[in-house]
Each structure stands twice: as structure tokens, then as C-alpha cells.
Amino acid sequence: MRRTTRFPVNGVNPLWKMYQTVSFWKVVKNFIVIQIARYTPFLSWKNWLYRTFLRMEVGDQTAVALMVMMDIMFPEYIKIGKNCVIGYNTTILAHEYLIDEYRLGEVVIEDRVLIGANSTILPGVVIGEGAVVAAGTLVHKDVPSGSFVGGNPMRIIRESV
């Protein structure tokens, strides 16, 4: 099981109570900052936006490609190490809303990680140092350091690269 904190709700699904769990204005601000960052061609500007306005931890020389979608509600739960590459159109989620509960979990991407284009990272996972995530992968559990993973659902292709 991923490292998430569960918050049960009664009655309707938690999306109907979304602004009881996170401020509307925080979501608006995060949406604007994330949209600007998605199209910004300068990597240092993107990292500055993430660190300054979203309170994310982003390591030096990390490259976040065009159209990457960070979690709009809880980006502060995302930690990215040094010298990482996050591929085009990747989605990194720190929350998930289900029928009877919502969950929050930190996403930790350690140093020198490569995440291929169009991947999705779910809340509560750790991607170990030097790991490679193939394009289009659904990362639903921890990725060991130095390994090569891919697929949907994700599986380990090679233990260390």
C-alpha cells in the first residue's frame, strides 16, 4: 500500500466537499502558477515558480518538461531531487478523491531520476535515486533506486541500470 493518509467522508463523494478540504483561493492560485509553469520554456523560471508559489521542493538542475501537470490542490506534498528529468505531459498527484474518502500522500522523487513522457505518479510513492521510469508508466508503488520500471500497471523491468 502507498503511504497515504485516509480521510473518510459521509454522504456524497468528497469532490462535492472539495473546498472544505482545500481553500478555493489556494486552488485558483495553484492553477494559475501551474499553467504558467507548464508553458514556460526556461527551466530555472519553472523551478522558481514551483519553489516560490507552490512551496514544492525542487532540486538544482532539475528539468521539468513542457506540459507537466503538478498536483493542483497539494503541490507542497511533492519533493523532487537534484538533476532529475520529468518528461513531457507527466502528471504528479499528491491527492486522490474516491467515493467514500480522499487520500493525501507525499511524492518523493530522489536525485538523478528520469521519468518518461506521459507518465502518471500517484500519491504516496517514493522513486529511488537513479531510477528510470519508462514513458507512459503508471507509478502506483515505490520504485527501487537504480531500477528501470515501466508499464500499466508498473512493473520492474531491470533491478539496477
- The pLDDT of residue 17: 87
Model confidence over 129-156: pLDDT tens digits?
999 999 999 999 999 999 999 999 999 9
For the stretch 40-57, what's the b/e string if a residue is b when 16 or more beta carbons lie within 10 angstroms of its beta carbon? beeeeebbebbeebbebe
pLDDT at 22: 96
At the top level of CATH, the class of 12-158 is mainly beta
> How much is the average pLDDT of 55-71?
98
Q: What is the mean pLDDT of the chain?
A: 96
User: Which residue ranges make up each domain of the chain?
Assistant: 12-158
Give residue-wise pLDDT tens across range 78-120: 999 999 999 999 999 999 999 999 999 999 999 999 999 999 9
Question: How far, rounded to the nearest angstrom, does the alpha carbon of residue 77 sit from its chain's CA centroid?
Answer: 8
pLDDT at 107: 98
pLDDT at 161 (0 to 100): 61
